[in-house]
Amino acid sequence: MATLSSNHHNNANNVACTANNTATSESLHPLAYTILWSPLPPITIFLPFIGHMGIATSKGVACDFQGPYAVGDRGRMAFGQPTRALRIDVSSLPGGAEQWDQAIMDANAEYRTRMHNICCDNCHSHVAYALNSMEISGPYGIRNWDMVKLCFLVFFKGRFLGVGGFLRQFLPFGILMLIWVVAKAI
């Protein structure tokens, strides 16, 4: 199960979003180069494909748009540890880790100047901004990233980081549907 360690969360020396040109595939953090997802209570209870999104640096440090003028860039996502991750192939990225991390730093800086809007300019938009500024050549056939594409891409292609992640995403919805079916039958 790949999750962010508590040391990673609390270590003040992990000031995040710094370039790492020396990483090899053997030394990659499990969350390096990933789009991250976690449930967004209470919305995920009713619509399990909607949640909170972030993006991890080449060192696996989570960065996410957490609210008006607030970006987390020290590994802690706004709604807890990520439950899903989708690794992006960066082999076609000319600047490698440095370009990946710089695009995330640029997105973080930009979103520290923005008001959060749950429907139009949100955590998904922050991730899309970073990916679009990288000009990464079409992973999953996508060239122009947006929040809808990211939502469904992570829903259908993202891997769960453990059984607990699966349960956090689908168990509340399953219980709600069970209650509805039982109530309808009475």
105-137: pLDDT as tens digits: 999 999 999 999 988 899 999 999 999 999 776
Angle at which helix 96-111 crosses helix 123-134, to 10 degrees, equals 140
Alpha carbon separation from 23 to 20, 49, 73, 96 (Å, rounded): 6, 32, 20, 10
Residue 47 reports pLDDT greater than 80: yes
Pairing of β 62-67 and β 34-39: unpaired
Q: What is the pLDDT of residue 19?
A: 35
CB 90 within 8 A of CB 103: no
Indicate if the pLDDT at residue 25 is higher than 80.
no
Rounded to whole angstroms, how far apart are CA atoms 29 and 43?
30
What residue has token string 């789009």?
35
According to the model, what pLDDT value does residue 18 have?
34
129-160 per-position pLDDT tens digit: 999 999 776 678 888 899 999 999 999 999 99
DSSP annotation of 158: P
Q: Give me the residues paired with residue 38 across strands.
A: 52
Which residues lie below 8 Å from residue 32, measured CB to CB, with a gap of 6+? 23, 56, 57, 58, 59, 60, 87
Report helix, strand or coil for 51. strand
